[in-house]
Chain A
Amino acid sequence: SAVISQKPSRDICQRGTSLTIQCQVDSQVTMMFWYRQQPGQSLTLIATANQGSEATYESGFVIDKFPISRPNLTFSTLTVSNLSPEDSSIYLCSGNSGTGGNEQYFGPGTRLTVT
């Protein structure tokens, strides 16, 4: 199984600023995913990131607010722009296992607090 790390593990940011979250996988994965988990809630998919192409965003999420980079098969970044308190959440990245069946491995998450 793939091991996924995220940086930072947590951050406190001021309103109006941006935070970039890094996701590193210890092996190559075809697809990477970014999720938001609001306090006490389930996971909501923000976007799917493939190498060499634009990320595909889910309904309600836009590139201007959540730009994503995927420069290679082991790394991706998510930026949360123009922060507001409503962006306070845990952000998780995942990668597909490559064994089929939509199986994904998850990073530990980044806890963002916006003040």
Chain B
Amino acid sequence: AQSVTQPDIHITVSEGASLELRCNYSYGATPYLFWYVQSPGQGLQLLLKYFSGDTLVQGIKGFEAEFKRSQSSFNLRKPSVHWSDAAEYFCAVGPYNTDKLIFGTGTRLQVFP
């Protein structure tokens, strides 16, 4: 069955520190890959996406993600975290044969000053 795993439920970092959020997927072929962010009381905002081509993708707010086919991973990174980055982050996959998105369980990011 198709699935998305975000192993880290909760991550705490200091402002200015680097960040990596993990995402692994299980699917027969490389699906479309996404990272969304949800701030408290808000909807989801698309940070970045991978469809094909260059495996390192740049997104908004200084985020980037790297697709690694051999590891079925699509980890999100940011070199220097800001306090405003505190939010819930969701990895999602879009199987080729549907229009749906399958979401991971999310990682809550807390940022300390």
Q: Which residues of A contact B (CB under 8 A)?
A: 1, 4, 31, 33, 41-43, 45, 48, 92, 94, 96, 100-109, 111
Q: Which residues of B contact A (CB under 8 A)?
A: 32, 34, 36, 41-46, 49, 51, 90, 94-95, 98-101, 103-106
Beta-carbon contact of B90 and A102 below 8 Å: no
Known A102-B32, A103-B49; contact A92-B44, beta-carbon cutoff 8 A: yes
- Nearest B residue to A30 by beta-carbon distance? B99
Beta-carbon contact of A42 and B106 below 8 Å: yes
9 contacts between A and B (CB under 8 A): A92-B43, A96-B99, A100-B51, A102-B95, A105-B46, A106-B36, A106-B43, A107-B43, A109-B43
- Nearest B residue to A35 by beta-carbon distance? B103
Instruction: Point out the residue from A33, A96, A108 that lies within 8 Å of B43, measured CB to CB.
Output: A108
- Nearest A residue to B91 by beta-carbon distance? A42
Dominant SS among interface residues on chain A:
strand
Beta-carbon contact of A41 and B105 below 8 Å: yes
- Nearest A residue to B34 by beta-carbon distance? A103
Q: Which B residues touch A107, using CB under 8 A?
A: 43
- Nearest B residue to A103 by beta-carbon distance? B49
Q: Which B residues touch A43, using CB under 8 A?
A: 44, 90, 103
Q: Which B residues touch A31, using CB under 8 A?
A: 99
- In this complex, the member of B41, B43, B46, B105 whose beta carbon has the largest number of chain A beta carbons within 10 angstroms is B43
